[in-house]
Chain A
Amino acid sequence: MAKSIKVRASNKNGLTTVKALMSHPMKVEKKDKKTGEVKPAHFIQTVTCEHNGKAVLTAEWGAAISANPYLSFKFNGAKKGDTLKVSWVDNKGENATVDASIK
């Protein structure tokens, strides 16, 4: 499984718009009707976005977020060239982090 986050952060008049696309299956717990076998859920639980070490957005997700999740938000107080750190942790303890520069 590719563990990657694509982030595009653009600054316009002091307002930074962040768009992030993560690569993750986001599976709901499912029971096979024929065999009764339970396939465990696998989804991102927490996404944190930090600017200068300060959390600008913390998202708590359930399994009802679509596969390969998309997240967009806006915040103030960043300059062009600043770094935005986006990371996620899923319910299996897997994680990914990316540093994106604000354009």
Chain B
Amino acid sequence: MRRFPAIDEAIASTALALMTLIPLIEIALRPLHGKGITNAAMLVQHLGLAVAMFGAVLAERGGHLSTLGSGFANARNPWLKQAAGVFANAGAAILSGMLGAASWTFVASEMEGGRELAYGIPVWAVQALMPTGFVILGVRLGSRCAPHRVAGLLLGLALTGMGFTFALHFDGSTLPLAPFALLLVFALLAGAPIFAILGGLALALFWAEGQPLASVPLSHYQITVNPSLPALPLFTLAGLVFARSGAAGRLGTLFTASFGGGPTGTVIAAALLCSFFTAFTGGSGVTILALGGLLLPLLKDAGFPERKGISLVTSASALGVLLAPSVPLIMYAIIARVPIHSMFLAGMLPALVMVAFLLVVGGYLRPARLAAGAPDLPRADLRQARAAAWAARWEILAPVLAIGSLISGLATPTESAALTAAYAILTQAVAHRELDWPLLRRCLADCTQVIGGVMVILGMALGLTNYLVDAGIPDAAVEWVQAALPNKFAFLVALNAFLFLAGALMEIYAAIVVLVPLLLPVALSYGIDPVHFGVIFLAVMEMGFLCPPAGMNIFFASAMFARPVKEIAISVLPALLAIFLGALAISWLPWLATGLPGLFGE
């Protein structure tokens, strides 16, 4: 890491730090009836746009933009592999140029009639970060096609410029879809970033209808500045701070002391700890990286074969999705327009049900009998557990703060997330003295990378969703499905199977943004509660983390434990079955999801 941050890191990290500070200042000033910060809520939301665009640029620099992760990019033939790389990067550069042009058109339309954000800053000035970001992304992706720096830069500029000019020139005309679609499929298989493919597809669809291309960046802007969205980077920051400090070790000690070091205790502790961490960090990959090194030795000591231990850590890390304040949970609430805290409450019981299914049906509790004669393993010990709980008191209180401040009505979702992030930073820096400036800087930068990478995918997927709405497809889907499936139960079974396939093929965030608007109206037409539907949706999506080709956890585990992808994919098969059955159970028993929100609602 350099001593001074590069400009992209500086912008993204500063924006994230301000997103944490401004809501806290507002909370502090609220009782004083003072002036506070002008238009604070909108300011924070627009900072999210800076985090998204420059976080994505930063992610590109570190090679962290999500790709399909399979296909020609992994070809054995070196020539094919190189050709695929050039095709993917060149294609992505051209597509980014097109997205840059479309966003520029949008910004230009806002200059005519837009408003002021605060302190004399016009809204369009912040929106201009979109064309800027896409053009930088394009140039950087394009420059990867050439080995030399200067040649690369020139090539990047040329490719991005081509895309920009093409889009500007043909905006508003009607172009055929098929050639676009074909090239996009090739680029996807060659390893182009997913955001470029989704954005390109959205542009191609609007082109095919002769509709304005600016519709796509407008959707990207709309979701990025959504009032609930600042909760995403802020909760993720809190999670990263916990993951990078000694919090994992303290919680590990607590769970071992509470459940004992025997096989059953260790398994339960591992499953709960993984879920807890995934809930906070959002990406279950982060959990595998943060906890894998800690849990695998514990599991081995308890008499677990290594392969089964890896399988447990990999699959349990997928389960936190239903546990507050997980990013997918917030994302669903935003897209489906249900209250965030209803989703938080709704996910709790199903999350426990899923853990139970994983442990029982997945067969992880069985080796308990085999290891019965194992020598002197630490037993559950109340006194030790109390001491461990005291040592981990700040970490244990974090979810209480996050969820409590929300359901007590003391804070908005953004404020609650800012409180939690500040709490994580302060407790780890002051109480534990484990967080210094360089580490905090790394947490901020990593958080913007994660969120930037997710947000560009999300924004482009929302552009795609807007096309679906525009073309009236959700209405058509309702009619079609209602004609095909006679009742609610047939629909639920079909839904689970369909989501399972979708989860295996799609990124969870893209799936939420594209499929929820499509499927939710159908679910509502069968009388399914939107909160219940969200829980089913996310429960089945958990399987997607474990299922090739888009199962992130498999790839993370393969990297973390230095095992072949195939071996890990096979080892999690029992977990897949367990999660599927768990999801069916949650579908069948709506009160698991709707019970708690109902209790706190009225």
Please determine whether chains A and B interact with each other in the same assembly.
no
Seen from chain B, the residues whose Cβ lies within 8 Å of a Cβ on chain A are none
Seen from chain A, the residues whose Cβ lies within 8 Å of a Cβ on chain B are none
